[in-house]
Amino acid sequence: MKRFARLLDDLLFSPSRLTKLRLLKDYFATTPDPDRGYALAAIAGGLEFRFAKPATIRGLVESRVDPALFGWSYDFVGDLAETAALIWPVTPADDAASPHLSEIVDALGGATRAEVMAQLGVWLDRLDATGRWALIKLITGGLRVGVSARLAKTALAEMGNVDIAEVEEVWHGLRPPFPGLFAWLEGKGPVPAVDRAATFRPIMLSHALDEGELLSMDPAGFRAEWKWDGIRVQLVGRSGVRRIYSRTGDEISGAFPDILQALTFDAVLDGELLVRRGDDVGSFNDLQQRLNRKLVTDRMLAGYPAFVRLYDVLFEGDEDLRPLPFTARRERLERWFAGNVAGTALMARFDLSPVIAFADWPALREIRAHARTRGSEGVMLKRADSPYVAGRPKGLWFKWKRDAGTVDAVMMYAQRGHGKRSSYYSDFTFGCWRDTENGAELVPVGKAYFGFTDAELLQLDKWVRNHTVERFGPVRAVEPKLVCELAFEGVQRSTRHKSGLALRFPRIHRIRWDKPAGEADRVETLAAEIQE
Amino acid sequence: MVAINTAPKPSDWVRQTPQGLCVEPGGFFIDPVRRSARAVITHGHSDHARPGHGKVLATAETLAIMDHRLGGEAGRERRPLRYGEALDIDGVTLRLEPAGHVLGSAQVVLEWRGSRVVVSGDYKRRRDPTCAPFVPQECDVFITEATFGLPVFRHPPDAEEIARVLHARAIFPERCVLVGVYALGKCQRVIRLLREAGYEDPIYIHGALVAMCELYERLGVMLGELRNATGAGKDELRGEIVLAPPSAIDDRWTRRLPDPVMALASGWMRVKQRARQRGVELPLVISDHADWDELTRTIDEVGAREVWVTHGREEGLVHYATGRGIRARALDLVGYEDEDAE
């Protein structure tokens, strides 16, 4: 437990992906089975205990500590697990007595809640503060140390010097503590034999289109579809096993029970997960109501029902369709849809992403200009003969996004960045003008923290330092004098922002050193672009 | 101690004023926050040792630190007092005793007509290789700080934290470990602790730390080889330990360093959220203030009937003392900063 707690602590404070990878690899390489396997499961998912509710933890602590002191401490620290871990009265224990992670996992596996609570006090007595923190996080179900399942798998792949796709192929067929997986990665055993039916298949990704490339591309050799503004998912229904994976292979079945129960078929499908609002497709903003939920209420299911717009098929039954050309797979998808979905109740959960007919590139460019009214981000181009290839192969799939919107906005606040940028003011809040009784005022419309070069960052940082009018902790208010042209993907209504709207993916397109702040855009100009 | 009935009430002769604690019969203030005719200074940190006083009484080390920091403003007339040496000021007997906070730091022991009051100043109980250890003084009233006056604050052994610095250095040979330390006290303590852990290599320090380190060495605290980090090149600093004031560790100055592992040595680093907010990669719980166990143990040891709490998280400590049958109250003195500000 000590090593695992130290790992979580180190991960929590590591600003960079590379450091996290190094920490994970080091831990896996030097920690014996089965502890490392349980640690992997705790981090990457597959090991979750919900024995202890916050109130239970609090009650346990207050049985040992003066409740008044606990109350002030909790107010000061602000996090229950951390307060409990820090305030727990230290009882001297030698190292040998501190429980192993596997010991804890084993005990939790067969125990009732009452037994767990009795045992928890004993464990807490035998751990140091970081150990106690990790244990409470583990049993209350929320590690939150900034490591995705994908990152953990990347560490495994690097450790075994194999492609991450190979790890993905076996991952979902394995159970903690993964002894066969580690043996394979360390060269001490064969690739673990798993029932691969329900595993995630690494998905195929596209490149952003450089319009110059169109000259050398034959329009007849490509198929076009709308690029939808949801999240990419892989649906797996194989011999009774149902799973929904995100594009990175994280399982998100739990958040979408409405989709999961509709996976009554035997196939692996690729598509875009979206939500409905009334008769329309909801915006990305609406979809966010459904993302990353551990608990899905009936209200959410009714207010934001999810569906998947299908655009590819990877398996039908046991048949692997990935080697087939796109047009053949599309045909199979349409046939499958007609036979399994059309005319059934599943229509509420699935539809087909239409193929856009076009004669040549100028025609498609014209169609693409209307992407916004279709609730789409642009168009996708897929080579007609492209097999389904994992990763981002060159020359097969392209995304041709609609042109970004732009707005001239005035810098209002600046904040220091993180990691390598911690010495720079690199996160900026921008505002546009609106009229009030007392004249024009600036109201924030969005934050931008990329889009500039390193040299421009130096200039911006210097400008912020020389034009600061007020400081609030790490934030500086600056003179409203610098105009930047922001590019953005869309405008949404927002109740959080004073301006009533928020920009999607805003970034700095150009710094307008030349432009007087008074000539920056007005809030109404942006409001006209809100997509309902 | 003298028969209690005849002794004056402590609050009749030691008063809380906007200027700071005033010892009325002696006509002087302790760590006054405004210019005062007569000041007793517990230690050299800038919120306690302020400029422009008339007569200043402190240990020789504290006076040297004030001289260095305040120059002509360090007090018109300066009187050094050795630890344990008694001095009569208009009937008030005053002694300074080690507080273990930084070099020269002192508790102020005051006696008047059989009543004894001890002002702890800022203090800690654990061993510090750069200053004399705190010695508890029996008293009627103990006036204490409470910077870390909640039971969530328990500082781990220094050696464990120093070992983490050395570990980070070992696993990141292409980076440097940048440790944020206060210029007075923490800086020299961290250096000495590194030396005690067997680290003999040169330690690189920010220009703002150089003069105080030189002063410590003149006062007999040897620090080993130090180099100025400000002039050093990126390649020279790879794999090295660099110390800088907390305000510099996330500012422009760090751009000269090779991808620094950002560490900060402070009692606040015990709280993970605090460390994350500062963007700290390696939080080091090393504090010059007493933690909860030290604060409460000291209250038990000095045997005071009353405890007054000057600054910090006073409610917890007042609650603790009250629970022990000790009269306790918070003074809410203003002008003294939490550890981060030094």
Closest CA to A381 of A523, A216, A161: A216
Q: Are strands B77-80 and B55-58 parallel, antiparallel or unpaired?
A: parallel
Mean pLDDT for the stretch of residues B46-73: 96
Answer whether B316 sits within 8 Å of A73, measured CB to CB.
yes
From the number of C-beta atoms within 10 Å of its C-beta (0-12, 13-18, 19+), residue A17 rates as: middle
Residues 6+ apart with CB under 8 A from A68: B319
Q: Chain A residue with minimal CA distance to B317?
A: A69
Confidence bin at A197 (pLDDT 50/70/90): low
- Distance between CA A466 and CA A473 in Å, rounded? 17
Q: Chain A residue with minimal CA distance to B168?
A: A10
Give me the percent of chain B exceeding a pLDDT of 70: 97
Q: How many H helices and E strands in chain B?
A: 9, 19
In angstroms, the Cα distances linking A171 to A44, A105, A232, B127, B313 are 10, 20, 20, 51, 50
Confidence bin at B342 (pLDDT 50/70/90): very low
Of B251, B259, B316, the CB nearest to A423: B251
Q: What is the pLDDT of residue A161?
A: 95
- Distance between CA A260 and CA A281 in Å, rounded? 19
For B185, the 3-state DSSP assignment is coil
Count other Cβ atoms within 10 Å, centred on residue A370.
10
pLDDT at residue A95 greater than cutoff 60: no
User: Is there a contact between B21 and B31 (Cβ–Cβ < 8 Å)?
Assistant: yes
Q: What is the pLDDT of residue A195?
A: 67
Q: What is the pLDDT of residue A322?
A: 94
Count other Cβ atoms within 10 Å, centred on residue A75.
11
Closest CA to B326 of B181, B86, B139, B146: B139
- Length of chain B counted residue by residue: 342
For A444, the 3-state DSSP assignment is strand
Closest CA to B120 of B84, B149, B144, B94: B144
Q: What is the pLDDT of residue B226?
A: 97
Instruction: For A94, list phi and psi in degrees, rounded to 5.
Output: -80, 160
- Distance between CA A226 and CA A222 in Å, rounded? 13
Confidence bin at A272 (pLDDT 50/70/90): very high
CA-based nearest distance A89→chain B, Å? 9
Least confident of A185-199, A509-523, B169-183: A185-199
Answer whether A419 sits within 8 Å of B315, measured CB to CB.
no
User: Is there a contact between A92 and A35 (Cβ–Cβ < 8 Å)?
Assistant: no
Residue A286 DSSP class: H
Residue B318, chain A, CB below 8 Å: the answer is no
Chain A residues within 8 Å of chain B (Cβ atoms): 9, 12-15, 19, 22, 26, 65-66, 68-69, 72-73, 76-79, 82-83, 86-87, 90, 129, 133, 416, 418-420, 422-423, 461
Biggest alpha carbon–alpha carbon distance for chain A = 79
pLDDT at residue B340 greater than cutoff 70: no
What is the C-alpha end-to-end distance of chain A, expressed in Å? 50
Of B152, B252, B315, the CB nearest to A77: B152
Note the pLDDT tens digit of each residue in B239-292: 999 999 999 998 889 999 999 999 999 999 999 988 888 889 999 999 999 999
In angstroms, the Cα distances linking B213 to A21, A329, B85, B253, B266 are 38, 73, 27, 20, 19
Radius of gyration for the alpha carbons in chain A, expressed in angstroms and rounded: 27
Mean pLDDT for the stretch of residues A332-341: 96
| B14: Cα separation from own chain's centroid | 23
Give me the percent of chain A exceeding a pLDDT of 90: 56
Residue B27 DSSP class: T
Q: What is the pLDDT of residue A514?
A: 87
Of A13, A416, A423, the CB nearest to B281: A13
Interface test with A, best of B147, B148, B152, B242 (most A CBs within 10 A): B152
pLDDT at residue B27 greater than cutoff 90: yes
Q: What is the pLDDT of residue B57?
A: 98
Residues 6+ apart with CB under 8 A from A297: none
Region of residue B33 (phi > 0: left; psi between -120 and 50: alpha; otherwise: beta): alpha
| B312: Cα separation from own chain's centroid | 13
Of B250, B273, B319, the CB nearest to A416: B250
pLDDT at residue A92 greater than cutoff 80: no
In the structure encoding, which two tokens stand for residue B126, read together?
């654990």
Closest CA to B178 of B150, B156, B209: B209
Note the pLDDT tens digit of each residue in B280-332: 999 999 999 999 999 999 999 999 999 999 988 899 999 999 999 999 999 87
pLDDT at residue A179 greater than cutoff 60: yes
For B317, the 3-state DSSP assignment is helix
- Distance between CA A374 and CA A39 in Å, rounded? 45
Mean pLDDT for the stretch of residues A62-71: 94
User: Is there a contact between A487 and A509 (Cβ–Cβ < 8 Å)?
Assistant: yes
Q: What is the pLDDT of residue A310?
A: 97
Answer whether B270 sits within 8 Å of A86, measured CB to CB.
yes
User: Is there a contact between B98 and B107 (Cβ–Cβ < 8 Å)?
Assistant: yes
Residue B90 DSSP class: T
Least confident of A111-115, A255-259, A479-483, A508-512: A111-115
Contacts of A82 in chain B (CB under 8 A): 271-273
Q: What is the pLDDT of residue B108?
A: 98
- Distance between CA B313 and CA B316 in Å, rounded? 6
Q: What is the pLDDT of residue B337?
A: 67
For B255, the 3-state DSSP assignment is helix
In angstroms, the Cα distances linking A73 to A89, A140, B271, B326 are 14, 20, 11, 22
pTM as predicted: 0.76
Of all residues in chain A, what percent are helix, strand and coil, respectively (each to 5)?
40, 25, 35
Q: What is the pLDDT of residue A168?
A: 79
Interface test with B, best of A72, A457, A461 (most B CBs within 10 A): A72
Least confident of A27-31, A85-89, A132-136, A276-280: A276-280
Q: Does residue A193 or residue B198 have the better pLDDT?
A: B198
Q: Does residue A400 or residue B5 have the better pLDDT?
A: A400
Closest CA to A270 of A151, A389, A358, A166: A389
Least confident of A130-139, A199-208, B332-341: B332-341
Interface test with A, best of B147, B148, B150 (most A CBs within 10 A): B150
Mean pLDDT of chain A, nearest integer: 89
Closest CA to B181 of B262, B255, B121: B262
Answer whether B151 sits within 8 Å of A419, measured CB to CB.
no
Outline where DSSP puts E strands in B133-274: 141-146, 177-180, 203-205, 226-228, 241-244, 261-265
Of A76, A86, A90, the CB nearest to B313: A76
Q: What is the pLDDT of residue A140?
A: 81
Q: Does residue A472 or residue B28 have the better pLDDT?
A: B28
CA-based nearest distance A135→chain B, Å? 15
In angstroms, the Cα distances linking B47 to A176, B51, B78, B122, B319 are 55, 10, 19, 11, 27
| B195: Cα separation from own chain's centroid | 21
Q: What is the pLDDT of residue A15?
A: 82
Q: Does residue B232 or residue A113 have the better pLDDT?
A: B232
Confidence bin at B7 (pLDDT 50/70/90): confident
Q: What is the pLDDT of residue A51?
A: 66
Give me the percent of chain A exceeding a pLDDT of 70: 97
- Distance between CA A4 and CA A23 in Å, rounded? 11
Mean pLDDT for the stretch of residues A348-360: 95
Note the pLDDT tens digit of each residue in A365-396: 999 988 877 778 899 999 999 999 887 888 99
Q: Chain A residue with minimal CA distance to B314?
A: A72
- Distance between CA A172 and CA A199 in Å, rounded? 5
Q: What is the pLDDT of residue A40?
A: 94
Note the pLDDT tens digit of each residue in B78-94: 999 999 999 999 999 99
Confidence bin at A196 (pLDDT 50/70/90): low
Confidence bin at B341 (pLDDT 50/70/90): very low
Q: Is the ipTM of this complex over 0.90?
A: yes
Of A13, A83, A129, the CB nearest to B275: A13
Q: Sign of the C-alpha dihedral, residues A140, A141, A145, A146?
A: negative
